[in-house]
Amino acid sequence: MSSDCIFCKIAGGQLETELVYEDSEIVAFKDINPQAPVHLLIIPRRHVPSLLDLQEDDADLAGRLLLTANRLARTFKIDQSGYRVLTNCGKDAGQAVSHLHLHLLGGRPLLQTMG
């Protein structure tokens, strides 16, 4: 837990946010500024600043984060229409919140851009 991290506060229940998924390691919630009809954030409960900070020992967690994206794509019924999963890592990617999060986006055709 990082005391000034908003996503730690959401995961810890100190910042009221509806969770669309939670288990012992992972929580997911709706993005406050959605860029698509479905825009969810999937985060580890533990404070990991970014993708770059994941270690070999976190391989299971990394896999479970991705599988949670699949699970939520089914729950939110975008599994057949298609969806995008991405994470911004560091300054040039525009990472605004320094707590690892996967964006899950779908529900409309998404721009074909890699940058």
Task: Write out the residues near Zn ion by the rule CB under 5 A.
Answer: 2, 5, 7-8, 47, 99
> Least distance in Å: CB of 80 to Zn ion?
33
Name 53's Cβ contacts closer than 8 Å, sequence gap at least 6. Answer: 100
CA 95 to chain centroid, in Å, comes to 12
32 binds, among ligand 5GP, Zn ion, none (CB under 5 to 8 A by kind): ligand 5GP
94 binds ligand 5GP, rule: CB under 6 A: yes
- Partner that binds at residue 75, options ligand 5GP, Zn ion, none, CB closer than 5 to 8 Å by kind: none
Whole-number Å distance between alpha carbons of 84 and 74 = 13
Decide whether 6 or 61 has the Cβ nearer to ligand 5GP: 6
Contacts of 105 (CB under 8 A, 6+ apart): 35, 36, 38, 39, 83, 84, 85, 86
The contact set with ligand 5GP (CB under 6 A) reads: 6, 17, 29-33, 41, 88, 94-97
